[in-house]
Amino acid sequence: MKVVVATSSVPFVQGGASLIVDWLAAAIAERGHEVEVFRFPFTTDPATMPAQLVGLRSLDLTDRCDRLVAVRTPSHLLRHPRKSVWFVHHHRPSYDLWDSARDVPDDADGREFRRMMFASDDVALAESKVFCNSEVMRRRLQQYNRVEAEVLYPPLDPAGGYAPAVAGDEIVYVSRVIDHKRQLLAVEALALTRTPVRLAIVGAFDDERSAYARRIREVVEANGLQDRVTVSGGWVSEQDKRGAIASSLATAYFPVDEDSYGYPSLEAAVMGRPVVTTTDSGGVVELVEDGRNGLVVDPQPAALAQAFDRLWSDRELAGRLGAAQAGRVDELQISWDHVVERLLA
């Protein structure tokens, strides 16, 4: 079968949204299919988005492949009679972030822009076989688009490379360093810990001169945490990220209402490390069950500090939570065999 995997992209920006496409293409190819990845540049500037969407909708790939798999919005607008959509997220400022982070004014023009976003998604999703990456996204698709989607949790790199190492003393937070990922909350928590537990923030700042970056540094300095907190602040290779998780005591990951569990959480699971997250972190709590394979606490520094101290003080608990990760991964059917079979069924 000839399969095109389509996705939007932002030049020179890498992350989970680009990795999932590369890994999906590799997994499909490993199962004997011909695969082509179609990446198209896309900007979320509201002034140009309508024209971009119209242009994308004009592309018909019917004669180019046997199956189209669309991943990142708005790739589902592409035309094909046999189209599977693995929906990662909406254009959120027009959807669940309309009241808190809309990117157009709440006036007649802005509301028409929002209506256009809903209408274009409704049309494209109605002609597709729709999957999504989490229960969070399944509920949003149901709420906003009246679409019933099947959850397919994204697996990791099919090439492997996730060997665990001896557990250390660090809580490792792997992610882009940006305010909605809440690394600052981890630093504030460390200031309240009673044990010598350490924190490593692994990832690049979206903007090293931002108020958020300055605030992280200020909290570290104000609380004398320079010897207990490390911040990479720049791009870190996949190998180095995996190495940091493999040798960690646990992984922390508690963004605000994340669309999925995030690859660092799954990497920790595969390498037998517990995850510390918060009750409001969205898709992360679909993977992490409190007391089973990690700790889920209130999004407050004091609660997180207690979780960090608990893992540092009770290594038997940390080991038991980490050992339970494999069973949870199997329970959720997080595998490329399952994903490819469903997307191409």
**pLDDT tens digits, one per residue of 139-198:** 999 999 999 999 999 999 998 889 888 889 999 999 989 999 999 999 999 999 999 999
Which residues, 6 or more positions from 1, have their beta carbon under 8 angstroms from its beta carbon? 33, 34, 66, 67, 344
What pLDDT is attached to residue 326? 95
**74 preceded by a cis bond (ω within 30 of 0):** yes
Mean pLDDT of the chain: 94
**Of the ranges 113-122, 134-143, 238-247, 272-281, which one carries the lowest mean pLDDT score?**
238-247
Number of H helices, E strands in the chain: 14, 12
Q: Once rounded to an integer, what is the mean pLDDT over residues 303-315?
A: 98
Question: What integer pLDDT is reported at residue 12 of this predicted model?
Answer: 60
What gap in Å lies between CA 97 and CA 90, rounded to an integer? 10
Q: Specify whether the CB–CB gap between 153 and 261 falls below 8 A.
A: yes
Beta bridge partners of 4: 36, 68
What is the pLDDT, as a whole number, of residue 317?
Answer: 97
Query: What is the domain class of 170-331 according to CATH?
Result: alpha beta
State the Cα–Cα distance between residues 11 and 187, nearest whole angstrom: 31
Backbone angles phi, psi at 207, to 5 degrees: -150, 110
Distance of alpha carbon 267 from alpha carbon 152, whole angstroms: 17
**2-152 — its CATH code?**
3.40.50
Percent of the chain with pLDDT over 90: 87
pLDDT of res. 15? 61
Quote the pLDDT of residue 14. 60
Does 236 score more than 90 pLDDT?
Answer: no
Domains 2-152 and 170-331 share a fold: yes
Coil, strand or helix at 283: coil
86, exposed or middle or buried, with CB in 10 Å at 0-12, 13-18, 19+? buried
pLDDT value at position 9? 86
SS3 assignment, position 160: coil
Q: What integer pLDDT is reported at residue 187 of this predicted model?
A: 97
Look up residue 31 and give its DSSP letter: T
**Higher-scoring residue by pLDDT: 135, 18:** 135
Residue 161: the pLDDT is 86
Q: Percentage of the chain surpassing pLDDT 70?
A: 98
Q: How confident is the model over 11-34, as pLDDT tens digits?
A: 666 666 678 999 999 999 999 999
Helix (H, G, I), strand (E, B) or coil at 190: helix
- CA 212 remoteness from chain centre: 20
Q: What are the structural domain ranges in the chain?
A: 2-152, 170-331
pLDDT at 81 over 80: yes
